[in-house]
Homo-oligomer: A and B are copies of this chain.
Amino acid sequence: MLTSMNERFDIGIVGAGQLARMMVQAAISLGLRVRVLAESPADSAALVWPDIVIGSPNDPEVVASFAEACNVVTFDHELVPPKVLAVLTVQRATLRPNPKALALAQDKLWQREQFARRGLPVPRFHGVRSIEDVAAFAIETGWPVAVKTAVGGYDGRGVWRVASAPEAAELFASLPARGTNLIAEAWVPIDREVAAMVARSPAGEVATYPVVDTLQIDGICREIVAPAGISAHLSDKATALAIDVAKAIDLTGVMALELFVAGDELFINEIATRPHNSGHYTIEGCTTSQFEQHLRAVMDLPLGSTDLTAEHVVTVNVLGGPTGEDPRQTLAQALALPGVNVHLYGKSARPGRKLGHVTVLGENLEEARERAWLAAGLLTGERVESPR
């Protein structure tokens, strides 16, 4: 049952980035009453939503007071400090996803341990705190190894390829003296990366989206292609794995499971317990977008159809170009391309920053990809060719 007018908010969203922005855009259609906690009035979602509270999402008192007015609290990121989760738990706020799922998503070492214990496929790993730890791990797996920060890495930051003991020494020399938890992982011979998205409601309803190909360049997701160009067998395996993980963490909301494909094997790379870049294509590309689906799921409303609306759907991210040009200045050029759906996030332009994305649907994959890359390039002031 939804709240009556002028009572509490249906949903409070902690964080006001582009994910919150696209969540509130979806909330308009369903008539949901949403409040957003933003760090700054210039945050992506704060620019387009009236019910904004300004405050730090890392301050337990701020978040606790914010949560009091909301029936359900959700997040546009996983990096919720444990002290915030603790306070919210004590005040019995309804957190969706639940605090443990959030904590698992942000602490990769604990996550790997939990998943390994349940027999979920993760690369061979070990917590490491020294050069010696890494070298010892490499004796078991061989060089190179992947070294990652356990908490806080994203978009390729906090991940290193270490090919020898001297390289490990170099890495450790560059890190803060103490306090960084690291994981060493066996280097997976990756054929491709895919993502499987699943939604799950408190009632236990589960909906899975088509598995997609994700193309990372310099560790940053640049392109999503739905459906992924993999066998039905692998795709089914990825989907089943997403459901297993969702159940294992008692997911509520949507989750993206990022996977490495190596031959016929899948390895869990990351999980994101929220709408995710790999699901932006669903806005036009699926009957129910990941943003509406997340709202439905956290509100315990029935989940929507995840059918594709076209044979192929391509999303390309719009990253800030080297000149820092505002993509609004070339919007007309991108919109002149037929069938290009533009999404800008209202963020100030900085080189490499995710400023928006474009989505193209079509029967011909290569045509759709070319058009999407062309549009994204126009929006960043670059002429970027499709990289494949």
Chain B residues with Cβ below 8 Å from A304 are 335, 338-339
Which of A59-67, A132-140, A216-224, A321-329 faces chain B? A321-329
Query: A348 at interface (Cβ–Cβ under 8 A)?
Result: yes
Chain B residues with Cβ below 8 Å from A262 are none
Residue on B nearest A296 in the bound complex, by CB: B335
Residue on B nearest A346 in the bound complex, by CB: B31
Number of copies: 2
Interface residues of A in 1-50 (CB under 8 A from B): 1-2, 4-5, 21-22, 24-25, 27-31, 46-50
Chain A 353-388, CB-CB to B under 8 Å as 1, else 0, gives: 000100001000000000000000000000000000
CB < 8 Å neighbour of A348 from B5, B29, B345, B356: B5
Query: Measured between C-beta atoms, what is the minimum distance from A343 to chain B in Å?
Result: 5
Query: A168 at interface (Cβ–Cβ under 8 A)?
Result: no
Query: Measured between C-beta atoms, what is the minimum distance from A34 to chain B in Å?
Result: 9
Query: Measured between C-beta atoms, what is the minimum distance from A51 to chain B in Å?
Result: 9
Query: Measured between C-beta atoms, what is the minimum distance from A303 to chain B in Å?
Result: 8
On chain A, the number of residues with a Cβ less than 8 Å from chain B's Cβ atoms is: 47
Chain B residues with Cβ below 8 Å from A271 are none
CB < 8 Å neighbour of A52 from B50, B341, B345: B50
- Interfacial residues, chain A to chain B (CB-CB below 8 A): 1-2, 4-5, 21-22, 24-25, 27-31, 46-50, 52, 287, 296, 301-302, 304-305, 307, 309-310, 326-329, 331-332, 335-336, 338-339, 341-346, 348, 356, 361
* 17 extra interface residue pairs, beta carbon distance < 8 Å, beyond A28-B48, A49-B49, A301-B331: A5-B326, A21-B28, A25-B25, A27-B48, A29-B341, A29-B344, A31-B327, A31-B345, A31-B356, A47-B50, A48-B49, A287-B339, A296-B335, A302-B332, A302-B336, A305-B339, A309-B310
